A and B are shown apart, each in its own frame.
Chain A
Amino acid sequence: MDDETIRLITGCAKNVRFRAGDAIARQGEPADEFFLLREGHVALEMPAPQGGAVRLQTVDEGDVVGWSWLVPPYHWHFDLRAVSEVRAFSIDGRCLRRKCDSDPRFGYEMMKHFSVLMADRLEATRLQLLDLYRGPAAASNP
């Protein structure tokens, strides 16, 4: 990212902290922010049909969490829970969307970065769906 892009993002950022176990976001609620993790672990979860939650993925220091702020209708697609003490930058999604609307170059930069994030998550989810560790060995090992 160039300096101008970083300046525009940090203009919408603030520091946040969460304690282990805190619910950071809930599926279906307005996604008015995303997070850049500075420290700690965050779990992406979905409510399980049988109760409780299924943990889909965990993300760590340096990871970006949340793309729902960029995709209408701007609602979280999953729950976010702090697995440990978490320090992060919270980036205001509404603030950033306004900047994207008024500066198409910046908007395109955001789209490029978040489409990579979405593609990575999609690929990881596809691999999870393949259920890699079941089945194939049965065919090769009598």
Chain B
Amino acid sequence: MSATFHPTDPAALEAGAMLPEAFFVVSRNEETADTFTLALRPVKAGAQRPFEPGQFNMLYAFGTGESAISISGSPEETDLLIHTIRRVGIVTSALDRLAVGDTVGLRGPFGSAWPMDEARGRDLVFVAGGIGLAPLRPAILHALAHRGDYGRLVILAGARGAGDVIFLDQLHEWAKEPDVEVRLTVDRAGSEWPHHVGVVTTLIPRAKFDKANAVAMVCGPEIMMRFTAVELAKSGLPDQSVFVTLERNMKCAVGLCGHCQFGPEFICRDGPVFRYDRIRHWFSQREV
């Protein structure tokens, strides 16, 4: 059972949803030139935070601030919390300066999860753009750990260039698993790049899955997710079977401050994972 905080329950706040817990950095790994992965362990024994695939934590770089970061590790391994972070601002740059043994504050896990129960018995199609592979990774690892529960696994990963692909070795490993199809593409490449070139949506018509019995989970820039949903619909997968995860500048993470409002939804509270038909309308609205 996850220790997810539900902000509609006032007891959740009393239980410490707003209070960061100290975690040690136990390892860090450079994924690309601007993306790194931190493995965190609670300073206090027994303070592990079970989570569901798709959820996020608020990581607090002491003295700098907090940032919402998706969990990118396996939900089956509760000892460590894994976060893959792209360095884009002052908080993520401060997190990038952390070394093994340093401490970081952590609140969470928060938010909705990928529909792993609903997807049982169906083919799973994961479509990732750039660092969007990180929030999908727990769902992929969960599906691989419970292989009998799901049908075919299709993993379509796109990135800007050859140097921007995260978890490249793991993508190659996943491709060796039975009934797992991995397709990798980059938007631009030199002639030495051995994989596909083109936007990630061009992989969808090539992927082999049961359109009548599949669930797609999509993470990447919003425009990429919108075009992905269009391409999935063209291939026969209805919007009700497509799930996306959204990102906004989250502050409180419990639906109180309103920073992450997206139309009628608060992404931290109602998301970040949404069924596409629920939020499709807001994707096409400017300034939302």
Contact = CB atoms under 8 A, between A and B. Distances in A.
Contacts of B220: 132-133
A87 interface: no
Contacts of A54: 188-190
Contact of B160 (A52, A81, A133, A138): A133
Interface residues of B, number: 39
Contact count band on A: 20 to 34
B191 A124 contact: no
B257 interface: no
Interface in A126-142: 127-128, 130-134, 136-142
B48 interface: no
A130 B198 contact: no
B91 A142 contact: yes
Nearest to B222: A136
Give chain B's interface secondary structure class: mixed
B160 A134 contact: yes
Given A55-B197, A127-B199, A142 B189 contact: no
A68 interface: no
B164 A141 contact: no
Nearest to B186: A55
A130 B92 contact: no
B202 A57 contact: yes
A55 B191 contact: yes
A118 to B, nearest CB: 14
5 contacts: A55-B190, A127-B223, A141-B68, A142-B88, A142-B249
Interface of B: 65, 67-68, 86, 88-92, 129-131, 159-160, 164, 187-191, 193-199, 201-202, 206, 220-224, 227, 247-249
Top 9 nearest A-B pairs (CB, nearest first) are A133-B130, A142-B89, A138-B88, A133-B160, A127-B199, A57-B198, A142-B91, A58-B197, A55-B197
